[in-house]
Amino acid sequence: MKTVAPSNKAVFFVSAGLIFSLAFSACGKQEQEVAGAAANAAHSAQQAAVHAAQSAETRAQLARAAASESAGERTALEHIPLPTKSLYVNVHEPAEWKNPFLTVAANQIDLRVIMVDANPSEAGTGTMLRPEAARRQELQIRPADLPKALIALPEGAWRYGRVVAIAEAPEAARKDRPAIRRNMEAAIQKLNDMGVVVEEWPTR
């Protein structure tokens, strides 16, 4: 039996069909890849949108909580009258200051308070039995605890009214000065939010 070789035309048709099939397969694969990439991009964009919405809501919740906390702190000190400047306008030495005195360091705030005399009778005031030094208290607190510490003070610690003195720690190292200044600014802002008048004393 004689074997007949395929014609060139047949070979061409076969080759063209194979190429078309491969091309179609490649196009289909590329379309799938493009579709997959688009789906992934859409999913990522959706996740990013959800995350952004959640972050915005979280920030809003934190802002509302902070505002509520500040309002509560302000309300907690409303029973302290507004300051009477004539009571302290001539006070120029920290040791003579009768109201809360804050000394700000890099990692803490020193709160100095002079408690009221428990027996302020004219005959006994200022005697050796109850010297002012014995009623002086100094507390080391974290900057974040400043509002709570002030709210906890008895009314007698506010001789001048709702005003505090604040100063940078005079013996702090130079490298700590930027951190101290940041703590000072944060403390002053918090005091203002609480409705407390601030007298900033220069660093000696």
Confidence (pLDDT) at 35: 67
Confidence (pLDDT) at 102: 98
**Cα separation of 187 and 176, whole Å?**
16
Q: Answer yes or no: do 183 and 143 share one domain.
A: yes
Q: Answer yes or no: do 175 and 115 share one domain.
A: yes
Q: Answer yes or no: do 166 and 142 share one domain.
A: yes
Confidence (pLDDT) at 61: 60
Q: Answer yes or no: do 64 and 104 share one domain.
A: no
Q: Answer yes or no: do 109 and 162 share one domain.
A: yes
Q: Answer yes or no: do 121 and 189 share one domain.
A: yes
Q: Answer yes or no: do 91 and 145 share one domain.
A: yes
Q: What tens digit of pLDDT does each residue of 28-57 get?
A: 566 676 667 777 877 777 777 777 777 777
Confidence (pLDDT) at 59: 72
Q: Answer yes or no: do 70 and 112 share one domain.
A: no
Confidence (pLDDT) at 54: 75
Q: Answer yes or no: do 99 and 178 share one domain.
A: yes
Confidence (pLDDT) at 10: 47
Last residue of some domain: 56, 76, 96?
76
Q: Answer yes or no: do 28 and 66 share one domain.
A: yes
Which stretches of the chain drop beneath a pLDDT of 50? Answer: 9-14, 16, 18-20, 22, 24, 124, 128-129
Q: Answer yes or no: do 171 and 130 share one domain.
A: yes
Confidence (pLDDT) at 12: 45
Confidence (pLDDT) at 115: 85
Confidence (pLDDT) at 9: 47
Q: How many domains does the chain have?
A: 2
In a domain, 14, yes or no: yes
Give the structural domain span for 44: 8-76
Q: Answer yes or no: do 195 and 101 share one domain.
A: yes
Confidence (pLDDT) at 164: 98
Confidence (pLDDT) at 22: 46
